[in-house]
Every structure is written in C-alpha cells, then in structure tokens.
C-alpha cells in the first residue's frame, strides 16, 4: 500500500472550486500512476489507461491510500481510497511501442 497526502494548500485545488475545494481527477490519477511507478521501480510509459472511475471527490488535506496488483497479462489494477471509501479505481497496461 502506498500513501500520498494532498496538502491543504495544494495548488491544483485553487479554483477547483471556490468554497468547496477538490483535487482534480487528472491530478489524482497522475499521483496514483507516479506512485505505482515508484513502487515498481520502473517507468510505465508508454501506457494505456483502460479504465478509470472517479467515485468520490478528493479534497486538499486528504490522505490517499493506493493499492495495486498486476495480473498474468501484465495489466495493473489499482484503487485509491480516502479512509475506507474508494475515490478512484482503474486499470492500466503498457501500450505497444510505436517506434519504427
């Protein structure tokens, strides 16, 4: 399990939304993917996001727990939770190289 904390003054929350700040989904997804890469000790790019479902808002100050697992085909499923509530689930796989 990996932990990430979004600081109360996280710059991405400015303007998202005044009086009701949230961490944008793209920022949450990026943090989750970077945390998985760091844990694996390897870059996942190029990658394909085969699914991503945002279930609840993530707020500045939240502590996000990230769990992931890899199946036999090398696909990685992941889930992010704040407390006992999931905020993001998804699946990724390495994209085929486009080098010629």
**Within-domain flag for 58:** yes
**Within-domain flag for 56:** yes
Exposed / middle / buried, residue 54 (Cβ in 10 Å: 0-12, 13-18, 19+): middle
Q: What is the value of pTM for the model shown?
A: 0.90
Residue 70 domain boundaries: 2-94
pLDDT in tens, 7-63: 988 888 888 888 889 999 999 999 999 999 999 999 988 999 999 999 999 999 999
How many domains, the chain? 1
Work out the end-to-end distance of the chain between its first and last CA atoms, rounded to an integer number of angstroms. Answer: 38
**Within-domain flag for 45:** yes
Q: Does 98 score more than 70 pLDDT? A: no
Residue 59 to residue 64: CA distance in whole angstroms: 10
């Amino acid at each position: 399990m990996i932990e990430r904390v979004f600081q109360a003054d996280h710059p991405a929350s400015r303007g998202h939304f005044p009086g009701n700040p949230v961490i944008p989904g793209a920022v949450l997804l990026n943090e989750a993917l970077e945390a998985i890469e760091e844990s694996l000790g390897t870059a996942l790019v190029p990658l394909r996001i085969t699914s991503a479902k945002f279930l609840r808002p993530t707020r500045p100050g939240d502590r996000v727990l990230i769990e992931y697992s890899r199946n036999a085909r090398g696909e990685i499923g992941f889930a992010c939770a704040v407390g006992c509530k999931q905020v993001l689930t998804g699946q990724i796989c390495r994209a085929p190289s486009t080098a010629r």
